[in-house]
Amino acid sequence: MGEAWGLDMYDIIQRSTCTFNIHESLLKGYVGNMRMFEATGVGTMVLNDEGTNLSELFVPGKEIETYKTIEEAIEKANYYMRNPEKAIEIGKNAQSRTVKDHNYDVYVKKMFMSIKKQGGLY
């Protein structure tokens, strides 16, 4: 298939049964990269590495699927390829959560509340 950028990339992600996602080890167990929100935003199930903060972002098993090892990721990917209706359900749940809780309006409000809490805004 080759490389895809911009709208072509989103189209491919949206047509996929699931999107594999892995985070840099520099994050020390935290998750929440751009790909996670791009894929959930277009309604695709994300197969994501486990992270200490993941349950603050999505409900594992309902809004996102997780793995601990590459072998487990392959096993789960194969399962969802054989059961696409389950992947579609998780993808729809993830999209609803992303639209509701993971958007610029919500995050800008959180940022300003954090700044205000630190005494930065009067």
Separation in Å, CA 103 to CA 37, 47, 82, 100: 9, 21, 32, 7
pLDDT tens-digit series, residues 68-79: 999 999 999 999
Kindly tell me the sign of the dihedral angle through the C-alpha atoms of 35, 99, 76, 10: negative
Domains located in the chain, CATH noted:
6-117 (3.40.50.2000)
Amino acid at 65: E
- In the chain, the percentage of residues whose pLDDT exceeds 90 is 70
Which of 56, 80, 83 has the alpha carbon at shortest distance from 67?
80
Q: Which residues pair with 60 in a beta bridge?
A: 64
The answer to whether residue 119 scores a pLDDT higher than 90 is: no
- Give the pLDDT confidence score for residue 79 in this predicted structure: 98
